Structures are given as C-alpha cells and as structure tokens.
Chain A
C-alpha cells in the first residue's frame, strides 16, 4: 500500500500546483504574466503565492521598471520539493497500475 503522506500537501492543492509548475518552467515570472497564464483572480493568486512564500518554496523580487513590478521564482527548496512531488506522483500512478 502506498503511503500518501509522502505527498507534499502544500503543492498538492491544484491552484498551488499550477503556480509551482509555471515557476518551474522559467527563472522568474512577473505577477501579471502568472495571472494571465493561469486565469486566476488577483486575490486568489496572491493568497496561494503568500502560502508558498511562507513555506520557503517561492522567492519574491520587487523591482522598479517604470512602475513597481513583483516577480516570483522557485527557491532551491521549492525546486527540490516540486521534483520530489513529481517523483511521488509517478510512484502513485505506477503502484496503481501494478
């Protein structure tokens, strides 16, 4: 029987999973681009990003590019947590097929 507690619950939530996935594709994502790509509301996206930031999975960068711009990226801890999460998901799928 597979131990489902191995799954990182912070990433397992679908909204946060999509954020982590996008952050894994590039070095940095501006907030506006994340919002455009995911089609989430500002409030929803900010809440998920704050949760991930508090857990140390996501880093926040604030810059002035004519106007203030906030960008997000995966921390080293976030990247390895995401890779571990993927590995566990694959194990669950494989275990179910046996």
Chain B
C-alpha cells in the first residue's frame, strides 16, 4: 500500500469513527414504525369508543388513570421493541449493547423524562377526570419534543427536525387550542396523541427508512 492509499484509508477511518462517536439515532426507523402503528391503532380504537354508535367509552367515562395506563402500555411495548432492535444491531455488528452513545442519550433525556413523570404522577393522584387529559397530553408532547432536542448535538438531522415539529405542535395546541377545542376533552387528548405519537412517527419511519437502506 503506497502512502497515498494509506492516507485515504486513514481519512476513511477518521470519518467513520467520528460519525460513530458523534451521531446516534436514538429512535430507529423500525422503532418509529412499531410505536407509530401502535399509537395510531390505539387512538383509532379510543376515538371509536368515544364516537361509535355504542359510545362505550363515552358512556362509561374515560378516566385519567385508564388513559395513562393504556399509553404507558404503548410506551412499554415500543421500548421493548426498541431494545430488541438495539440488541439485534449490537449482535450483528459485534458491538456491546450499552454503548457510550446510548449512555449519553439516556443521560440527556432523563431530566425531561423526570418532569413528564412528575406531572403524570400528579394527575394520577389528584385529578383523574377526563377534563385534565388535554393538559397532560400537551405536557407529554412538549416533554417528548424536548427529549429529542436534548440529543440534538449527536442526533441525525431527521431526529432534530422531528423534535422541533413535536415541540412546535405542543406549543401550537397550547397557544391556539381553538383548532381542536370543539371536541370533548378526552377526544382532544386522543387526537393529539394520534397525531404526534402515531402519524408523525409513521412519517418519520417512512422518510428515514430509505436513507437507512442507502447507508447499509
């Protein structure tokens, strides 16, 4: 190998290492697909329960605790799927499961997740009426946007864009609530969840999947 080939090889090593050390996709396209599909299905099911001809949920009353439990289950399934995808990737590439980049992502996200957990706990304990649901959902959306943006220094551009769109949506719902105010409180919460955690993630999965294939 002559010196020029060696120089090119070294530049390639440097570029790959820098990308690996500085860019980390906390939400992969498959995870977004699983989470987006689940959130969309759950939102449609809840909306049907509120407006369908039987109006099962509307008649029985959708309590805050039911709502929180249901969405925590969606979060749990999505996190399990994400762990499975990360595990498979680490086995395929022969790298450890708990990489420094993953550790950095978790540390960056924890403060905002803590705030979301406190508000969720408060609603769980003190106000389980459906009137409080839109505010809780708004807090979840804003906190989720902030979590994504907290990883901005080492996240790919697509994830930062998703963060800003999510945060912007949370802000818009808070500042201009009249757009969805004509619905009942529970319905407003369901629509917002379906939009942000369902449709946005399906769009993210669709847009980032081709880029992932190209990289491979």
Contacts and interface: CB of A to CB of B under 8 A. Distances in A.
A14 B3 contact: no
The main secondary structure of chain A at its interface with chain B is helix
Contacts of B20: 37
A42 B116 CA distance: 41
Interface stretch (B10-18, B41-49, B171-179): B10-18
Given A92-B3, A95-B4, A17 B10 contact: yes
B96 to A, nearest CB: 5
Interface in A66-86: 86
Interface in A39-98: 39, 86, 89-90, 92-93, 95-96
Contacts of B61: none
B100 A93 contact: no
Contact of B21 (A22, A92, A95): A22
B215 interface: no
B17 A93 contact: no
Contact of B7 (A18, A21, A37, A93): A93
B86 to A, nearest CB: 14
Interface string A25-45: 110010001001101000000
Q: What are the 3 A-B residue pairs with the smallest beta carbon separation, nearest first?
A: A96-B4, A92-B7, A33-B100
